[in-house]
Structure 1
Amino acid sequence: MRPIVILIALFMGGLPASVDAMPASVDAMQLAPSHPATVVPVPTTISDFFLPGSQPGQSGTLEFPSKCDNCHGGYNLAVEPAYNWRGSMMAQAARDPLFYACLAIANQDAPQSGDLCIRCHTPKGWLEGRSEPTDGSALTAQDREGVTCDFCHKMVRPAPLGTNPYPGDADYTAGTYTQDQSYLATLGLIPGTTANGMYIADGNNAKRGPFTDANATHQMLYSPFHREADLCGTCHDVSNPAYTKTGSAYVPNAFGAGAPSFDPYMMFPIERTYSEWKMSAYNQPGGVYAPQFGGNKTFVSTCQDCHMKDVSGVACNKAGGVFRNDLPLHDMTGGNTFIPLLVQSLYPSEVDAAALSAGIQRAQAMLEKAASLDVAVAWKDGTYKLLASVINETGHKLPSGYPEGRRIWLNVKMFDPAGALVYESGAYDPATAVLNHDPDIKVYEIKPGISADLAPVVNLAAGPSFHFAINNQIYSDNRIPPRGFRNSTFAAIQSPPIAYSYADGQHWDDTYYPIHPDAARAEVTLYYQTLSREYVEFLRDENRTNTAGQVLYDGWAANGKSPPVAMATKTKLIDLVTAVESPGDRAPALAVGAARPNPGDHVSVTISLPNAAPAVLDLIDVQGRLVLSRDVGSMGAGTHRVALDPGRRLPSGVYVVRLTQGTRFVTAKAVLAR
């Protein structure tokens, strides 16, 4: 019972001098009834959410984006920064009604916790002292511009005084280093890392950027920091500083005293997108071959490579602008296709409707690139089943980011020869926004919640919860890891699989479905949803302080209830070898599944053999030469995973995989990256 003793002591004013001096039983001190009705808020203050870095009043007055438009907009919608930024969720971060609905519940549960949210959703509002009250009511229309141009281009990489973070960069050392050190010296505390909104925004008005040859009419400073994923990590790793990791648990700090450590990994993890990338194969020299993301790049590594792809053009409308083939497109595209619709209806005079629509289309395209889907008939547990394999093509977990409401799931339909539906898993009703959680359903999501120790203190049941400001335990996390996943490294960043398992190196997930006796064809679709019905109703019903939850709900109901987006769809004929069906007669067609990882170093494929007859797996290079061949017929009928080049003898390149049995053959493409 000791953890509860500690929690109650903290909630009543701080950690006792000696825990042993507390009563052995806490029954008389129970703060919550046995049948809770209303959350008991924790006694947090603004001090509990203090973080180092620039503080309000230390970064000057951030300029309005409209001033930047004068040079950086109105000339080429395909590449210009202004139009593309205005269509991004970065520009709408402080107009997002989901943000305000969440903010209300956070402040109810943990007073003034909203300060932690406001600092990244509107840096201008936070840095200029308008984050209090922490419900966002003091924010102005200018603050609602969200993550603005001037903020990002003021950012400084944290470094101890006297330490040059780029000693090998002569341009930085000779130019920007002195100014960076000068500003860092004005801060009370310099963050030890780039995370959790601990940003450093220089009060100097010069704009920082990654190019040394820009012909700007304003002051500018060269910044290699702006090419690094660390810059994005500033707001895309989020931790709750009110909790400290103690063993395997997260315990509240002494309230009003602030966090004892500003190491994000000593706090409760809320989002780990940046850290997931940091521990992935993308964070290595050369990156990963993924031309679908990089624009002019074929290999991608940093956040910017995928979310600000390289295009060809100039960054301004003035003479002398430098034409570049590595111009970062300022679209910052993620996967949000729904919230822009609500923003447009709530703030019609503040937003560019065309830019938002273009942003929605980009987000749809991004979602379609984020995952691959492979479907096969496979032998499993003594029978043939439908195998759906989801491959994560991103540099972080799938899905990643804010944990509440967003989810990915598989919808599997089977049809008889006449086209009638005979089986469905993951059925979704667009009229009611209800996802049917049938016994076979696979949903990829994370479920944070309230621990058993904390539950009686806050008057909530132990278990998964949407109360993100006071959640202190992760109950499950089956989100698909990225390439390069290792259980040990993901545990170190507080993002391991929980109540699920992935092997080291696994960046895909396999799900098996029973094949209906009448099924002749299967159709499998992977769906992504920004906002679930359960979450939007929670935000409406739990709100006791303002109308933010109702505003969100009304917008949700009026705009299709956050329609799921199809990320990938595959159709599979359920091919039978015999015309007479019996349990022993079912067999898959000859098939070779998609290679994975593709590209990759250790590439393998799934092969399906309808019988035990001789079969050969060949690898053919782009010049048509047979470079490797192996006998696979001895494996027998069924589905098998086969390494293409176990000895790693072949060079990098594109290869054709050919599986032959008798007079039949099937092919697939594989890319080896050494």
Structure 2
Amino acid sequence: MMFNRLPFIALGASLLIAQCFAADVVPTEVQMPGTQQGQAGNFESPDKCDNCHSGYNKTNPEYEPATGWRGSAMANASRDPIFWATMAVAEQDFDGAGDFCIRCHSTKGWYEGHSTPTDGSGIPAMDDNGVDCDTCHVMTNTDNSDPVLQGAMTAPFIANCSDKTLAPSGTCQSADEGFYGSGILSLWNASSAKLGPYVDADARHQFMQSKFHRHVDFCGSCHDVSNPVVGDLAPGNGTQPGAPLVISSQDASGTPNVGGSVVDKAAFNNPPYAYGVVERTFSEYKASAFPTTQVADFLSLPENLRHPGGAIEQTYQAALLAGTGGNYADGDIRYFSCQSCHMRPVQGAGANKRGVQVRKDLPQHDFTGGNSWIGDVIKYQDSRSQLRLGDGLTAVQLSAIDLATERAKQHLQQAANLSVDGNLVTVVNLTGHKLISGYPEGRRMWLNIKWYDGDEQMLREDGAYGPIGVTVANPAGGTAVEVESIVDLTGANTRIYSAHYGITQAWAERLVSLGVSGDIALAYDRLSGEVVTTLADLAAGSADNVAESFHFALNNRVVADNRIPPYGMSFDEAKRRNALPVPANQFGDPGVGGVYDYYDRLTLNPPAGAVYATIDLLYQGTSWEYIQFLHLANNRQSTFLGAEGDNMLEAWLNTGMAKPQLMASITWGSAPVTDDTLGVSSISTGYLQQSGKGKSQTTTYIASSTITVGDEVVIRALVQEASGELEEGALVSMNVTNTATLESFPLVSGASDSNGVAEVRWKTAAPNKKGNGGTALGTYTISVTDVSGSWDGVPTSSSFNLVN
């Protein structure tokens, strides 16, 4: 355990003693404003929601709100093994830190007062649903802008700037600024009504319309994450250089009031983006141009943002289904928000009750990012009775998790575009936040480049991934496992996109002075597992030293961050929100008043004799280096969390080591034509026809070159190798173009099946009742623009007619 109890105590809080493993009283440094425990009313079980919101859409079960949610990381946040392994170390670092983690990973558990002891051992099995239905459907805006829907907040737990010090002396920009981040929520408890975006829901329960649920700030409530401990106690409050000063309990000399009143703490006097940087997904988005860009203005965006099959284009296509040119069906303006991408509209009913209207802008409860590996880890631990919460997964839950895993892979393929011009490779960020974003520890994206000569012999591989010479015993038994990772993390030709955090010398020195053990290992050698540096080493070093560290609860500095900014990211706003690249002069070096590039360019270094190269953009959800840290840093003295590092290592090793996922690929040079060269031999179009009802319902593909407007056009491309063999696993990029208006819609298929068929569906929109809007009628051509792998370059084409 990392803290020794200090001789002073305030409001029942203290730093911890070497024998403590979980606080029974949450320290004031960990507490945050917003609705407090016991104030949110009764959280209903999602099982009750399932009665109406799942089990009725046999064709697209993922369109059901409950089924989409069931498979998501939100629903499984309390099962997430990496959460438990990370919290185990955080509790060692600062006794009580677990309350901060539980607040988001078991919201019902937190609001019903089960977050103490802070190691999670007090959370009952019934609170195993992560971020559940009621959490979102009773949320109100923390800025209290809605005169009716105002959540439960009582002084001093007011989560907005109404009674705070305004800029320039403080970080609040205006009196009506709400606090968005770290699970600081304002929850409605004045009635049992569920809150949502519709005014005309025909629900069997009470409901009230909430404009906040479509608001661009809604998801920010959780997806900026700031460490309140570091924010209050650390020198500089965990900010990046140049950010506004933070109001905290530190006095004029910089000495913090450990255990002091919450009214003096940083979390109560500043918006979450101002201090203790952990994640800045929401701030990255807010600093971009997307919060003020309407989906209907998609065609005015730069061409490389409108890439076929990219996240932005897919969001636009989905929005057109409502028939309002990109806006919501009821006429509300739809901006490029978190919801517009991660809850894309689909056509369907929101519940199984008779008479429930079929909507054309039903938000799919997807919530998917790039986490394509966590489902397998959860299932593995469930099979071995290792889950801390939520074991005994049902067939319904397992199916939902598998569906979500596939959606995550699709999101990764939509997140970026690669292009090559001479020796210049460009990676374009097609998301609304940095590429990549989210919890930074272990997540990374990189370019894997294989160089070949004219005889197809590989000359060099940059960004190679594979065995690194480390073999570990398999905790599950059997033969030892050879660990895989990026082979050369620092190579001149290796481009890795990631964020690295650390601890400054001044903070290390303060921690030691507060009684923290200097023996804490800050980093381990990834090959030998030996300790590289300790807290005492850092504290005794020079004043400008910063040591990289995976200690989530202690890190106070962003050491490096070369993740690609989103479109239109303002230098000034990113600086204010502690979301700048590090160093800040990357991506065009815009400076004050400027805007960052939303792409990265890399000059290639071909080896002598290279004729062509395959360039793959890869993503890994977590790395060996982070898993190793969670395994070694856990001191195994906690009765409840002592095995979590070992369990996480076991699950990671036995589920593919978070195998890297392909995001995009392109070829440099000209590959020799071989039997493996891919081409599209034919393209067909049609639509899906349903027959029967209930369990007898079937869906049939009807081939046709005439499609009725408002239907979904099903496009099928047959992918073959030059040898004639059918190709499985290929992605086909194509353009659908109206021959009269020349408006073009880029699409990317799903992976071709064992019969070589790659399918993509293009949603058309019927005009409204007055005959306005909708997809233009007429003849459309389909042209192949790329096939993943070694494409033959032949642009196979076809056409169809869109009619009334």
**Normalising to structure 1: TM-score of the pair?**
0.74
5+ residue gaps, structure 2: 11-20, 161-177, 247-253, 299-311, 321-325, 327-334, 384-391, 468-481, 519-534, 539-545, 589-594, 673-736, 743-782, 784-793, 796-804
Query: Does the residue aligned with 2:426 lie in a helix, a strand or coil?
Result: strand
CA separation of 1:115 and 1:294: change in aligned 2, threshold 3 A: farther
Instruction: Pick one of 430, 439, 446 that aligns with 1:393.
Output: 430
Q: Do residues 568 (structure 1) and 664 (structure 2) align?
A: yes
Are positions 1:278 and 2:300 aligned together?
no
Equivalent positions of 1:548-587 (< 5 A) are 548-573=644-669
Deviation by residue 1:301-342 (Cα, 9 ceiling, x = unmatched): 110000010000110000121211000001111110111111
Q: What is aligned with 2:14?
A: none
Is 2:202 aligned against 1:202?
no
Paired AA for residue 55 in structure 1: Q
- What do residues 15-53 of structure 1 show as CA deviations (whole Å, max 9, x unaligned)? 9xxxxxxxxxxxxxxxxxxxxxxxx999x9521111111
CA distance in 1, matches of 2:69, 2:613: 40
The equivalences for 1:196-595 within 5 A come to 196-203=182-189, 204-242=191-229, 243-244=231-232, 245=236, 253-257=256-260, 258=262, 259-260=265-266, 261-287=269-295, 289=298, 290-294=312-316, 296-297=318-319, 301-347=336-382, 349-351=392-394, 352-377=397-422, 386-429=423-466, 432-437=483-488, 438-456=491-509, 457=512, 459=518, 460=535, 461=538, 462-499=546-583, 501-503=586-588, 504-544=595-635, 545=638, 546-573=642-669
Cα deviation, residue 14, structure 1 = 9.8
Residues 26, 118 of structure 2: 8 Å contact kept: no
Q: Is the 8 A contact 2:99 2:118 kept in 1?
A: yes
Q: Classify 1:83/1:97 alpha carbon distance in 2 versus 1 (closer, same or farther; 3 Å).
A: same
Question: Which amino acid is the alignment partner of residue 271 of structure 1?
Answer: E
Q: 1:55 to 1:372 in 2, by over 3 A?
A: same
Alpha-carbon separation, structure 2, partners of 1:65 and 1:252: 46
- Whether the aligned pair in 2 keeps the contact of 1:195 and 1:238 (CA below 8 Å) is yes
**Post-superposition shift, 1:439?**
2.3
The verdict on how the C-alpha distance between 1:315 and 1:252 changes in structure 2, with shifts beyond 3 A counting, is farther
Q: From 83, 87, 97, give the equivalent of 2:71.
A: 87
Which letter does structure 1 place at the counterpart of 2:259? G
Q: Following TM superposition, by how much is the alpha carbon of 1:375 offset from its aligned partner in structure 2, in angstroms?
A: 1.9
Render the CA deviation track for 1:617-661: whole Å, top value 9, x for unaligned.
Answer: xxx997699xxxxxxxxxxxxxxxxxxxxxxxxxxxxxx9xxxxx
Mapped contact 1:286–1:301 kept (Cα < 8 A): yes
Is the alpha carbon distance of 1:146 and 1:248 closer, same or farther for their aligned partners in structure 2, counting shifts above 3 Å?
A: closer
Q: Deviations over 1:183-238 (max 9, x none)?
A: 54656522112222110122332100000000011111110111123221111011
**Runs of 4+ off more than 3 Å:** 10-15, 183-188, 244-253, 620-625
How many aligned positions are there?
Answer: 530
Q: After the TM superposition, which residues 70-219 of structure 1 pair with which residues of structure 2 at under 5 Å, given as runs?
A: 70-76=51-57, 77-160=61-144, 165-166=145-146, 177-178=147-148, 180-181=149-150, 183-184=151-152, 188-192=156-160, 193=178, 194-203=180-189, 204-219=191-206
Task: Note the C-alpha offset of 1:265.
Answer: 3.3
Distance between the aligned counterparts of 2:446 and 2:466, measured in 1? 14
Give the superposition deviation at 1:412: 0.8
Cα distance, 1:86–1:454 mapped onto 2, change above 3 Å? same
SS of the residue corresponding to residue 494 of structure 2 reads coil
Q: CA deviation at 1:470?
A: 0.6
Distance in structure 1 (CA, Å) of the matches to 2:611 and 2:352? 58
Q: Which residue of 1 aligns with 2:790?
A: none
Code of the residue aligned with 1:345 in structure 2: it is Y
How far apart, in 1, do the equivalents of 2:492 and 2:142 lie?
49
| Shift, 1:391, TM fit | 0.6
Distance verdict in 2 for CA 1:624–1:96, change over 3 Å: closer
Compared CA separation, residues 248 and 147, structure 1 to 2 (3 A): closer
Deviations 1:476-519 (A, max 9, x none): 11010000022222111101111351223400001122111111
> Which amino acid in structure 1 is aligned with residue 48 of structure 2?
K
Q: 1:507 to 1:248 in 2, by over 3 A?
A: closer
Distance in 1 between the 2:398 and 2:741 partners? 51
Tell me the amino acid that sits aligned with residue 281 of structure 2. Answer: T
Contact 2:216/2:291 (CA < 8 Å) preserved in 1?
no
Which secondary structure does the structure 2 equivalent of 1:400 belong to?
coil
Q: Given that residues 311 and 327 in structure 1 are in contact (C-alpha distance below 8 angstroms), is that contact kept between their aligned partners in structure 2? A: yes
- Residue 292 of structure 2 aligns to a residue in which SS? coil
CA contact (8 A) 1:54 1:187 kept: no
Deviation at 1:570, TM superposition (A): 0.7
**Residue identity matched to 2:404:** G
Separation in 1, partners of 2:741, 2:188: 58
Q: Deviations over 1:592-632 (max 9, x none)?
A: xxxxxxxxxxxxxxxxxxxxxxxxxxxx997699xxxxxxx
* Residue type of the alignment partner of 2:212: F
- In 1, the alpha carbon distance for the partners of 2:270 and 2:496 equals 34
The 10-residue stretch of structure 1 (220-229 or 236-245) with the greater mean CA deviation from structure 2? 236-245
2:124, 2:188 → 1: CA distance? 22
- In the alignment, the residues of structure 2 paired with residue 229 and residue 130 of structure 1 have an alpha-carbon distance, to the nearest angstrom, of 31
Is 2:274–2:577's contact at 8 Å kept on the other side of the alignment? no
- Contact 1:195/1:236 (CA < 8 Å) preserved in 2? yes
The whole-number CA distance in structure 1 between the counterparts of 2:110 and 2:665 is 43
Q: Is the 8 A contact 2:273 2:280 kept in 1?
A: no
Partner Cα distance (1:336, 1:486) in 2: 28
In the TM superposition, what is the alpha-carbon distance from 1:108 to its structure 2 partner? Answer: 0.6
| Aligned partners of 2:501 and 2:555 also within 8 Å | yes
**Identity level (%):** 38
CA–CA separation in structure 1 for the residues paired with 2:255 and 2:466:
41
Distance 2:417 2:339 in 1: 22
Quote how far apart the aligned CAs of 1:263 are: 2.2
Shift of 1:84: 1.0
Instruction: Provide, for residues 141-180 of structure 1, a one-character-per-residue CA deviation record: whole Å limited to 9, x for no partner.
Output: 22221011111101111235xxxx25xxxxxxxxxx43x3
Change (3 A) 1:214 1:575: closer
Q: Report the RMSD for the aligned CA atoms in angstroms.
A: 3.1
Contact 2:620 2:658 in 1 (8 A): yes
User: Relative to 1, partners in 2 of residues 1:321 and 1:188: Cα closer, same or farther, differing over 3 Å?
Assistant: farther
Structure 2 counterpart of 1:59, one-letter code: A
